[in-house]
Structure 1
Amino acid sequence: MDKYMSRPEIAPGDEDNTALEVDLTNKFLNGELSFAEYSSEWYCADKKDDFCDNDDRLSDEDAEESPSTQSSEKVTRRRKVTRLTPALMGLMGEANLRFARGDKDMAEKMCHEIIKQVPAAAEPYQTLAQIYEDDPEKSLQFSLLAAHLSPSDANEWLRLAAISKQRNDIKQEMICYTQAINADPKNIAIHLKRLEVLTMLEESKYPLNNINRVKCYHRIVTALPSSEGDTIMKYARLASTMYHNNNEIEKTLEVMTNAYEKCSKYFTAEDLNILLELLITKKAYKTCIEIFVGHVGVEIEAEIQTIRKANDEIEEQTHYLNCTIPDNLPIDLRSKLLVCFVHLGAINLVQTLLQDFLSNDVEKAGDLYMDIEEALSTVGYHELAMQLLEPLVQNTSFDLGAVWLKHAECLYKLGRENDAIESYYKVLKHAPQHPTARKKLFTILEKKGSINEALEILQQDYKYVVNAGLLYEQYMILKKYNRPLKYLEVGEALLSKTFPRYRHQSELKIALRTKGAIIELIHNFRAMRGENPFNENDIHFDEEEDFKLTAEEEWLIFKDLMEVAHIHKQYSTMQRLSYGAIMSKALAPHRKNLEFLCFQSCLLNNDYINAMRFIREIAHKIPGARSWTLLNFVLNAIDEYPQVKFLYRLFEKDCSMIKKLFLGNHFITSGRYLVALKYFLEYHEQCKEPISALLVAITSLVMAAQKTMDKHHNLVLQGLCYLSIYHKLRKCNHESYYNIGRAFQMLNINNLAIAYYEKVLNSNSIAKCAKHGAIDLKKEAAYNLVLLYKGHSPQMARRYLNQYLVIE
């Protein structure tokens, strides 16, 4: 036997396939794969067709698939029938002889040796199936493998389908019938059996994956000979209906074309109407004319001219001279003939045939009128198109927005702008939100100089579905005509497509703490609370519209709107826009700028609670004098929440002196003067700044005014002492005199208060500004003097009033 053991040579490109064959075969024989899975690995990697073809050629179904389809996801492997070498054929013959003599063990060993060398040969599996006749399971496995590797025997596949049916393996039965069809595609009985099995699978709600009834119908149409015309037409109609319902125009045309080529004489007027409709959709007008002449009985007289182009190419042009139509030709076929002539440029025939067509009742043929009108408008014959539109708009059954739109556009193309305006208004009467009608009407009105009316036409009703593209055009036009407040309203509506509005403070917290898919998180948060994810008064945009702002456009529009809102003091709008922007996915790269804009909007809108949320983050991320000044401003404006813990955290690492200043300021505003004095004194001991001396003085004097405090005189003396220190450190007599005067006025030491206020009036200004003039405190000092003199010396009060406080 050694002479039979030589292994055949394997081409380098086939090594991977051979290894895969061995692996799949072993898994199948070991029960790790079902036959459906085994065959699927080889032939059904393409998910678009679960009916595999296992012969050495492509089936009709597969020929229909484009190369790009056949290479999807996994490469579909096509098997060539493997032939044994002469040496292995001899070994195979000896194995069969041993089996015939009853030596099953040796015959099995020989078969396995052949499988080891050539796993894709069918012969050893056929013999093994016979050897294991007593074991139905194994015998079936080997029979399936043998048929799979040599798939041209339809009867064998039918036998295996019957066995699978007995075992109630419907999936395997389906595959067997499919392979039988591949082997004998013209056998209608096999096709019908496969459809029966498919019906059983559907009724039992078996997961069909990509098993497709319409492909079974399509396969019948392509496989049967033309002598089976009735059957072909039956399944062609079924397939075309299913393809059409799935909007698969290419497939619908393909199946109807196949049927027409095989049995055109079986086509009814309805079938021809469907075929012609599909061909017109694909702009195959000459093919339609051939069908009219060859099948319908239309007689056409034409001449062909040969024209040499500039590049020496020769082109044949057909000129249609005359046309005779049978009297019994249905009107829908007449309309399609007209459409074909329109697109083929036979305008002389169109004019002649159109008069006859217009004699038909508009009530019954209105849709066909529209088809011809659309063809005429497409190629620019608007005068002829108007002959079809006028009867339509005069008929109450076709008093529709779409018809009036065609009418208006045709009038506009003909230069009848006034009539077009009236028709466009009719469109808006039927479809108030129609974006095309609004755009065209705006263009005409703008051209005529009616700017206000034109701008009103662009306004959509936000209660209904809104077109974002029209909203963007309105935004740009309002900007062009400088209508800022309306421009701001429309811009905010446009950005609301991607800018959500928050409902609760907790949603704002989510937006501030999260980067990324903020909108999705907020919608999930609302769903958890049992709320509608969307607001009732949200604008509903047209989901079928493909208009979308780019991230850069969205950012520029947002900045522009914020500027306009600031100029016109629309601070609530600023706050809404900035909150929406921070939740927008497209503006995530501008997060830092947006946080600061949110803070500014809150400040301008006097929303200090939310301003505090933002300034806390800013102070942490960007420590410095500016952020601390802003923080101090907000702290002074907000009284509801203590911020001591936050201040401790903010200054826990650096800036210990600033920490004391902030804490002292916080405690003095909250009425805890003794604690505030402690922090101010600590700050002054190290910094020796005029502000710290002033704060210590103020705190001491305020404490002295409290009834609950002891040693009032000591506190007053301490306050006056620090005021003196403040005066020396400040080196600005004008300001320090005023503050000292205020302190004496608070202590009710009026004579000294008057003296210091007089010094303020006699001292130089703090600074001079080219824009604002002298910057000083003279008016404030004069007003305080008026208050002091008002009770006991009205003349002096009036003198100061007239000299310093008269508005010129």
Structure 2
Amino acid sequence: MDSVKPGCSKGNMDKMDVEKELTNKFLSGEMSFAEYSSEWYGGDDEEEAEDPNKVSDDESRPSLPQVEKIGQRRRKLTRLSPVLLGLMGEANLRFVRGDKDMAEKMCHEIIKQIPTAPEPYQTLAQIYEHDAEKSLQFSLLAAHLSPSDANEWLRLAAISKERSDVKQEMICYTQAIKAEPFNFEIHMKRLDLLTSLEEIKYPLNTLNVTRVKCYHKIVTCLPATEGEIIMKYAKMAATIYHNNRELERATAVLDAAYKKCSLLFSLEDINIFLELLITQKQYQACIEVFVSNLGIVIEAEIQTVKNSSDEIEEHTNYINCTIPCNLPIDLKSKLLICFIHLGAISLVETLLTDFLTNDVEKAGDLYMDIEEAFSCVGHHELAMKLLEPLIKNTSFDLGAVWLKHAECLYNLGRLDDAVESYYKVLKHAPQHPTARRKLYAILEQKGRIDEALDILQQDYNYVVSAKLLLDHCQELKKHNKILKYLEVGEALLSKTFPRYRHQEELSIACKTKGGIDLIHEFRKMRGENPYHEDDLHFDEEESFKLTPQEEWNFFKELLGIANDHKQYFTMQRLCFGALMSKALTSHRIDIDFYCLQACILSNDHHTAMRFIRDFTHKYPGPSSWNLLNLVIGSVDDTAHIKFLSRLFQKDSHIVRHLFLGNNFLTSGRYLVALKYFLEYHDQCREPLSAFLISVTIMIMAAQRTVDKHHNLILQGLSYLSTYKQLRKCDQEAYYNMGRVYHMLSLNNLAVEYYEKALSCAPIAKCEQHGVIDLTRETAYNLYLLYKDHSPEIARKYMFKYLVI
């Protein structure tokens, strides 16, 4: 079992071990004082208001937590026991007498037992006066462990400044402020340091102290007697917070100033304060400000009511309100807004009559604020009283006003009037997504489906909403408008799918994964606009986007629709765009195969060649080779011959002979082709190779530059006979033999084999492709043979086999 000293818990022992470890790391130079301090304090929140009565009372500070979080709180001053206190006195006495070695040993003994006591570090700092670095380290530790001495922290800040240690200097000022929060001069010294650092563009984010935090600290720390200073820095802090959209903190700093010096708040200050309180929904606090600072007299009564949980709670019922005549109208509007949210609707109706006498031209924005409050709590009829004057005024013939009017009408159930108002919104803001959705819902409810779907269609020449595009897709699918669904879906995916301008960009897409930025960089290098002229401009403020899985499923669905409706070029655009989508990087192998399929279907065989090359390298086998042969057979040039040689260079498969033989055959190099076909036939003895050899020899026999035509024809017929024996399919074999004799103008033999082919059964039956039969092809060839010399026989074949 672990031994524990008497009087110490296991948790305290662990804590002391961590404290000792941190102290040793600091003294050995493994960590700076800034890092050491952050382990204890964890980055204090400078805006947090502190109780002035607790600042100088070390005993009242919260104690250190357990090992998991040794920092994050103010330190508790560690007291030495009487025995160690006597030892400390002896150490100081030895130091005064000049026995520094013994004094140092005594200090280290105390540190060994209680590493968080400040006294031994103070003495060690004096002992090492000759070593400035050591002395500073011990002084910092002593101040850190007894942080209530502001002067000591200021002295250490001065030393840190001389050493150009900015972080350490800032920490010293921060600790000095905690020791004496009422000392305005220390606050100013810290602000001066920040100003000098800003001038040299020092990275302030590494200091955990910002200018606005310093302002906030001044407001929360200074006493109410320093009202002017508090107001000055409260306004500055509130302005910065407001600009950064930190409204909660802006409210907090003004609230702290208001509690200390409310009499110094001007009407403008109160107006801003009330505005912030309303944004934070602190309506009761607003009422208190109105009563205490603006001369508002309110008559109210407290009622006890049961809530939804059958619990008794108090409710304030506002009965009457007297408003001074000289109260500015914007403050009157804020008072009405507070009463609306506090449920005093009867009182608001009384006050609203007077408010509506104000000129709409001057107070229109305030009308809108009150209307928004009414709509928020569900009193749409009262909201209409404020909207009607606005829509009649030409200065407020705006999309935002008509939108409020339309929504109010919709909530009141006046759908026909709401439709008109929504159309007014789209007149002012044609791309407004909310108006389009609401108008669609009404028109769909009325059964005007086509008109409703047209409303969801955005103009792609302007900024578009991705979320509205998705809604449009869902509704088109719901009403079975499949082709339109494909069109809008492609527009939605264009947010992450690029459009290519030329083959170089497609080459980049094929070689990289999820790098649309590379395309833009490539265009910049060429001196082009990085964005395509037909690209959609999406709303950048809209946070909506499809998840990677949603985008993948949506892409596959659109691809299937395009394939079903033979929209092959759309398929190709979708597949090429998916190559550069960062969300679909994990599906790159599938996308490459889809690209190959789309290229083949759209007869873009040159681009298909780009993809099939990769597939044959990565996945060699019959499937890849069949696709390769399909693509090669449709490409006009012969540049792929070198590729084929390289493809089978490492793994020389027998199928290589077929590929090379076919390519040399189509390029007119018949002898080379014959060589490869013969090599293949020697090893495989397949009917295909025998047939190819026969065809090649027959073509050679037809050349004028070749001698011994008859010998070649006999050899060709011999391999054709071999083909017939190996093929074991009478209809196909007889048909091909008839074609060969037909080509050689041996018509009697051609007719004989054609007749044999007609008398044979079909080649095969397939569930997917039906019956595979050469009867019509055979009959047509017979028709060609007879039409000039025996038209009656030719007509017989035509009517028997060729008439549908």
Question: Shared fold by TM > 0.5?
Answer: yes
Deviation, 1:324, is 1.0
Instruction: Tell me the amino acid that sits aligned with residue 572 of structure 1.
Output: F
For residues 508-527 of structure 1, the aligned pairs below 5 Å read 508=506, 511-512=509-510, 517-519=514-516
Correspondence for 2:123 among 116, 123, 127: 127
Deviation, 1:342, is 0.9
Larger displacement relative to structure 2 (111-120 or 285-294): 111-120
Larger displacement relative to structure 2 (261-270 or 112-121): 112-121
Deviation, 1:725, is 3.0
Correspondence for 2:92 among 89, 92, 96: 96
Deviation, 1:794, is 6.7
For residues 614-693 of structure 1, the aligned pairs below 5 Å read 614-619=611-616, 625-647=622-644, 656-693=653-690
Correspondence for 1:460 among 447, 458, 461: 458
Correspondence for 1:547 among 534, 544, 554: 544
Q: Deviations over 1:140-172 (max 9, x none)?
A: 554444333222223333444455556666654
Gapped runs of 5+ residues in structure 1?
Answer: 1-6
For residues 158-557 of structure 1, the aligned pairs below 5 Å read 158-162=154-158, 172-208=168-204, 209=206, 210-309=208-307, 311-505=309-503, 507-508=505-506, 511-512=509-510, 517-519=514-516, 534-557=531-554
Partner of 1:4: none
Correspondence for 1:584 among 581, 595, 610: 581
For residues 792-803 of structure 1, the aligned pairs below 5 Å read 793=789, 795-796=791-792, 799=795, 802-803=798-799
Larger displacement relative to structure 2 (547-556 or 360-369): 547-556
CA distance in 2, matches of 1:785, 1:308: 101
8 A contact 1:8–1:85 mirrored in 2: no
In the superposition, relative to structure 1, how do residues 790 and 214 fare at CA in structure 2: closer, same or farther (>3 Å)?
same
In the superposition, relative to structure 1, how do residues 795 and 291 fare at CA in structure 2: closer, same or farther (>3 Å)?
same
8 A contact 1:46–1:74 mirrored in 2: no
Deviation, 1:615, is 3.3
Partner of 2:602: 605
Instruction: Tell me the amino acid that sits aligned with residue 236 of structure 1.
Output: A
Instruction: Tell me the amino acid that sits aligned with residue 564 of structure 2.
Output: I
SS of residue matched to 1:695? helix
SS of residue matched to 1:545? coil
CA distance in 2, matches of 1:35, 1:51: 23
Structure 1 residue 572 corresponds to structure 2 residue 576: no
Structure 1 residue 695 corresponds to structure 2 residue 692: yes
Deviation, 1:653, is 8.1
Q: How many residues align?
A: 793
Structure 1 residue 745 corresponds to structure 2 residue 735: no
Q: Deviations over 1:757-778 (max 9, x none)?
A: 4554565554678999975444
Deviation, 1:245, is 1.5
Larger displacement relative to structure 2 (345-354 or 761-770): 761-770
Q: Deviations over 1:269-317 (max 9, x none)?
A: 2222222222222222222222222332211222222124575521112
SS of residue matched to 2:539? coil
In the superposition, relative to structure 1, how do residues 660 and 167 fare at CA in structure 2: closer, same or farther (>3 Å)?
closer
SS of residue matched to 2:225? coil
Partner of 1:82: 78
CA RMSD of aligned residues (A): 3.8
Partner of 1:715: 712
Deviation, 1:788, is 4.1
Larger displacement relative to structure 2 (340-349 or 83-92): 83-92
8 A contact 2:55–2:180 mirrored in 1: no
In the superposition, relative to structure 1, how do residues 88 and 707 fare at CA in structure 2: closer, same or farther (>3 Å)?
same
Deviation, 1:702, is 0.7
CA distance in 2, matches of 1:766, 1:161: 98
CA distance in 2, matches of 1:479, 1:561: 11
In the superposition, relative to structure 1, how do residues 692 and 194 fare at CA in structure 2: closer, same or farther (>3 Å)?
closer
Instruction: Tell me the amino acid that sits aligned with residue 231 of structure 1.
Output: I
In the superposition, relative to structure 1, how do residues 785 and 71 fare at CA in structure 2: closer, same or farther (>3 Å)?
farther
Instruction: Please report the TM-score for the alignment, with normalisation by the length of structure 1.
Output: 0.88
Instruction: Tell me the amino acid that sits aligned with residue 352 of structure 2.
Output: L
Deviation, 1:35, is 4.6
CA distance in 2, matches of 1:100, 1:89: 17
CA distance in 1, matches of 2:345, 2:637: 83
In the superposition, relative to structure 1, how do residues 153 and 615 fare at CA in structure 2: closer, same or farther (>3 Å)?
closer
Instruction: Tell me the amino acid that sits aligned with residue 184 of structure 2.
Output: I
In the superposition, relative to structure 1, how do residues 603 and 142 fare at CA in structure 2: closer, same or farther (>3 Å)?
closer
CA distance in 1, matches of 2:532, 2:776: 53
Partner of 1:3: none
CA distance in 2, matches of 1:575, 1:615: 15
CA distance in 2, matches of 1:379, 1:737: 88
CA distance in 2, matches of 1:769, 1:85: 99
In the superposition, relative to structure 1, how do residues 198 and 612 fare at CA in structure 2: closer, same or farther (>3 Å)?
closer
8 A contact 2:94–2:103 mirrored in 1: yes
Instruction: Tell me the amino acid that sits aligned with residue 94 of structure 1.
Output: E
CA distance in 1, matches of 2:361, 2:20: 70
Partner of 1:155: 151
Instruction: Tell me the amino acid that sits aligned with residue 256 of structure 1.
Output: L
CA distance in 1, matches of 2:469, 2:765: 50
CA distance in 2, matches of 1:468, 1:461: 12
In the superposition, relative to structure 1, how do residues 723 and 197 fare at CA in structure 2: closer, same or farther (>3 Å)?
closer
Deviation, 1:244, is 1.4
In the superposition, relative to structure 1, how do residues 253 and 674 fare at CA in structure 2: closer, same or farther (>3 Å)?
same
CA distance in 1, matches of 2:626, 2:137: 84
Deviation, 1:373, is 0.6
Instruction: Tell me the amino acid that sits aligned with residue 409 of structure 2.
Output: L
CA distance in 2, matches of 1:618, 1:171: 58
In the superposition, relative to structure 1, how do residues 21 and 777 fare at CA in structure 2: closer, same or farther (>3 Å)?
closer
SS of residue matched to 1:546? coil
In the superposition, relative to structure 1, how do residues 311 and 25 fare at CA in structure 2: closer, same or farther (>3 Å)?
closer
In the superposition, relative to structure 1, how do residues 29 and 725 fare at CA in structure 2: closer, same or farther (>3 Å)?
closer
CA distance in 2, matches of 1:432, 1:263: 50
8 A contact 1:52–1:175 mirrored in 2: no
In the superposition, relative to structure 1, how do residues 523 and 15 fare at CA in structure 2: closer, same or farther (>3 Å)?
farther
CA distance in 2, matches of 1:29, 1:352: 73
Larger displacement relative to structure 2 (176-185 or 20-29): 20-29
SS of residue matched to 2:463? coil
CA distance in 2, matches of 1:72, 1:281: 38
CA distance in 2, matches of 1:159, 1:304: 58
CA distance in 2, matches of 1:728, 1:98: 118
Q: Deviations over 1:649-691 (max 9, x none)?
A: 6557889543333333232222222222233333334444433
8 A contact 1:383–1:414 mirrored in 2: yes
SS of residue matched to 2:633? helix
Q: Deviations over 1:201-239 (max 9, x none)?
A: 333333323221222221222122222222222222222
Q: Deviations over 1:83-132 (max 9, x none)?
A: 22222322322333344445555545544444454443322333344455
Q: Deviations over 1:778-806 (max 9, x none)?
A: 44344434544555x37458635753576
8 A contact 1:51–1:211 mirrored in 2: no
Amino-acid identity (%): 66
Partner of 1:727: 724
8 A contact 1:289–1:340 mirrored in 2: yes
In the superposition, relative to structure 1, how do residues 411 and 747 fare at CA in structure 2: closer, same or farther (>3 Å)?
same
Gapped runs of 5+ residues in structure 2?
Answer: none
SS of residue matched to 1:377? helix
8 A contact 1:689–1:729 mirrored in 2: yes
8 A contact 1:779–1:804 mirrored in 2: no
8 A contact 2:406–2:418 mirrored in 1: yes
CA distance in 2, matches of 1:559, 1:106: 82
8 A contact 1:56–1:79 mirrored in 2: no
